[in-house]
């Protein structure tokens, strides 16, 4: 296929030798070469999912995708150090401090002293944090189901995730989403 199916030039060229647009020109804009680029679609998709999260999940639980990601990683690795969390989230260790401050201020996690290395803080979920994590998890699964499952089949979602995983093989980790 020499012309990908997402090439907007088709639409563009169909609109008969148009003049440069003016104030009264309400035709949809052309995105040029962008629709041929995977990066463009990844950006749009990520933005769409993020926005839906902020609409559907955040008002319920006052949580951002990034903070939930941290909660989840802490829960799945009880006692990990802040530096380890930062590495897992793909950010500098200085960046993680304020985020952890927030989760701690809300009593969702605790910084516990490490017995064998006094420099380290062992991050753990509080009971309230565990309860919140369970609630948010359900909410997020619903959010994804609502947004994604209405447009793609279960098989297609698995195909999509599989392709994205292969694209990211060897890449550094990243915060969520």
Residue list 26-85, contact with DNA (CB under 7 A): 64, 66, 81-84
Please choose, out of 28-36, 96-104, 124-132, 150-158, the segment that lies near DNA by the rule CB under 7 A: 96-104
Binder of DNA out of 34, 49, 91, 124 (CB under 7 A): 91
Q: Look at residue 145 and give the partner it binds from DNA, a second copy, none, a contact being a CB closer than 5 to 8 Å depending on partner kind.
A: none
Q: How far is the CB of 113 from a second copy (least distance, A)?
A: 12
Q: 56 with 143: CB under 8 angstroms?
A: yes
Peptide bond into 177 cis (omega under 30): yes
Number of other residues whose CB lies within 10 A of the CB of residue 135: 13
Residue 130 interaction partner, one of DNA, a second copy, none, beta carbon < 5-8 Å per kind: none
Using CB under 8 A as the binding rule, the residues of this chain from 55 to 114 that contact a second copy are 65, 69, 72-73, 75-81, 84, 88, 90, 114
Query: Is residue 140 part of the contact set for DNA (CB under 7 A)?
Result: no
Per-residue x/- track, 3-22, a second copy (CB under 8 A): -xxx-----x-------xxx
Rg of the chain on CA atoms, in Å: 22
Q: What minimum distance in Å lies between the beta carbon of 113 and DNA?
A: 10
| Beta carbons within 10 angstroms of residue 6's beta carbon | 13
Instruction: Give the total residue count for the chain.
Output: 177
Q: 81: which residues sit within 8 A by CB, 6+ positions away?
A: 114, 120, 121, 122, 123
Whichever of 47 and 95 has its CB closer to a second copy, that residue is 47
Among 123, 61, 118, 113, CA closest to 86: 123
């Amino acid at each position: 296929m020499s012309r990908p199916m997402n090439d907007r030039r088709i639409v563009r060229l169909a609109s008969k030798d148009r003049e440069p647009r003016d104030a009264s020109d309400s035709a949809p804009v052309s995105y040029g070469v962008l629709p041929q680029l995977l990066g463009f679609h990844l950006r749009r998709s990520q933005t769409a999912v993020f926005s839906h999260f902020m609409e559907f999940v955040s008002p319920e639980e006052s949580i951002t995708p990034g903070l939930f990601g941290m909660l989840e990683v802490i829960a799945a690795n009880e006692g990990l150090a802040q530096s380890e969390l930062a590495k897992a989230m793909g950010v500098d260790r200085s960046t993680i401090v304020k985020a952890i401050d927030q989760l701690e201020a809300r009593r969702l996690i605790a910084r516990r002293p490490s017995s064998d290395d006094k420099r380290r803080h062992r991050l753990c979920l509080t009971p309230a944090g565990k309860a919140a994590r369970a609630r948010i998890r359900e909410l997020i699964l619903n959010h994804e189901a609502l947004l994604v499952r209405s447009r793609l089949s279960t098989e297609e979602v698995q195909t999509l995730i599989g392709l994205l995983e292969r694209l990211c093989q060897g890449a550094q980790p990243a915060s969520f989403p």
